[in-house]
Structure formats: structure tokens, C-alpha cells
Amino acid sequence: MATALITGASNGIGLELAKVHASKGGNLVLVARNKAKLDELKAELEKQYKISVYTIGKDLSAPQAAQEVYDETTKQNIKIDYLINNAGFGDFGMFAETDWNKELQMINLNITTLTHFTKLYLKDMVSRRSGKIMNVASTAAFQSGPTMAVYYATKAFVLSFSEAVDNEVSDKGVTVTTLCPGATESGFQAAAAMEESALVKGKKLPTSKEVAEYGYKAMIKGKTVAIHGFMNYLMANSVRFTPRALVVKITRKIQDKAK
């Protein structure tokens, strides 16, 4: 069975993706800042599924983080069959008032580290002519997002980049899937300080488990873009036929704090 490397695996969608892969009998490399939580998950999954789990505690917003993880898996002689770039975070607020250091970390994690991981492990996959990559974007990737300007822009990068690379390797035995969830019960909203947003306040959101199961199936099938939820699919595709200025206004209305 394939070995999957999952970033941001200590909670939310990443944690559930780890459980899904383990349930199929696959080994894991789990990467996140909180190694203690990863080690708890390691013990749970190894006991339940009789698989092997290797954990790496790493701040993935640091410039050389992807290279350091790659070097460690190489040193441990762990062949990565599936790369799942799940780690990422957002921030809520007017760009003129938000914290630049937090946004720089966001850009480093959501864009730079994801791109570097893809570069490093893709080369190995292409040389073997087998492998799967899943980059987690968001329905935010399909339009710009006032009050979360940098986050939406990072996810637009992930979608555009991943689609292009998937096309480049389509004849090389490798697939690149972009998972685009909508708002999800994952702890993301609390981290982004957006619990009061009309997008999530009072809404029944899909669970991280539901999104993870959907995304994992899409990756196995080699689907290029996987948008979770029928309404999310409709909304993501409808923006192509709507004037951009109107889309931005609608997004702002949805994102603003619930009255």
C-alpha cells in the first residue's frame, strides 16, 4: 500500500485525511508544528490499523521547511507515493489593518512551502512514473475576497499552479488534484478569527471527515479539480459568468460580520 505524506495533519481535514489513508492500510508521514499531537495520532493509528506512522514536527511557514522534510524522508529511506499539501491558514480583517507578519507567514505556508513540496516530491514521482499529489485550496480560489484578501489570493495561486502542473505530468503516470472545500468544521474559522462572519455564523457546515473522504476519493481517481458540495460547485462555476465587480461585492457581503 502507498505511503502518504500529509502536512497540517494535527487537526481538521489533515487529521481526517490521515485516518482515511490509514484505514486503507497505508503508511503515513505526518507533518505539523505540534509534534505532541502528531505522536498521539501516530499511536492511535498504528494500534488501530497496524500501519507505520512517521512524525515530523516542523513550522512549515519557515523558508527551508519543505527541503528539511524532504531531506528527512530521504534519509529515512521513505518513498512518498502520495503527497497531500493540506497545511494552510487564513486571516480575517481589512488589509489596511491586518498584521503583515501573519500575512507573510500565510504566503510562505499557503504558497511557498506548498510549491516547494510539490517540486521536490514531483521529481521523484515522475522518475518512477507513479504518484499522486493533492493540494488543498478552497472555493475561495475562484474569486477575490474582501476582508480575507491575502488568503483568497493564496488559494487562487494553489488552484492555478496545480491545474498547470497536472497538465504537465498527465502523460507521466502522476496526477495533481486540487481539493476546493467551502467553509468546513475544521478549526479554520477560529484560527482566522472569522466566527462572526456571515459565511459561517449560525450555519451547519460539513465536517472535516466528510471533506477528507471526498478529497481522498478524488485524489485516487486523479480528478484535477474537486469542489466539495453541490452548492459550492455551483457557486464556484457561476463566477465565470458574472461580472467580476459584482462577484467581489457579493463576496464582501457574505464575508462581513453577521448582523
Marked catalytic residue, from 42, 132, 155, 209: 155
Model confidence at 192, in pLDDT bands (50, 70, 90)? very low
CB 136 within 8 A of CB 86: yes
pLDDT at position 21 over 70: yes
What are the pLDDT digits (tens) for 98-142? 999 999 999 999 999 999 999 999 999 999 999 999 999 999 999
Greater confidence (247 vs 225) lies with 225
Model confidence at 241, in pLDDT bands (50, 70, 90)? low
CB 2 within 8 A of CB 81: yes
Among this protein's residues, is 155 annotated catalytic? yes
Q: How far apart are CA 129 and CA 89, in angstroms?
A: 32
Is 76 exposed, middle or buried, given 0-12, 13-18 or 19+ CB atoms closer than 10 A? exposed
CB 168 within 8 A of CB 223: no
- The helix or strand, by DSSP H or E, that contains position 226, with its residue range, turns out to be strand 225-227
Give residue limits of the domains in the chain. Answer: 3-255
What pLDDT is recorded for position 186?
A: 62
pTM beyond cutoff 0.85? yes
Marked catalytic residue, from 151, 152, 214, 216: 151
Query: What is the Rg, in whole angstroms, of the alpha carbon atoms belonging to the chain?
Result: 18
Output the CATH code of domain 3-255: 3.40.50.720
CB 25 within 8 A of CB 1: yes
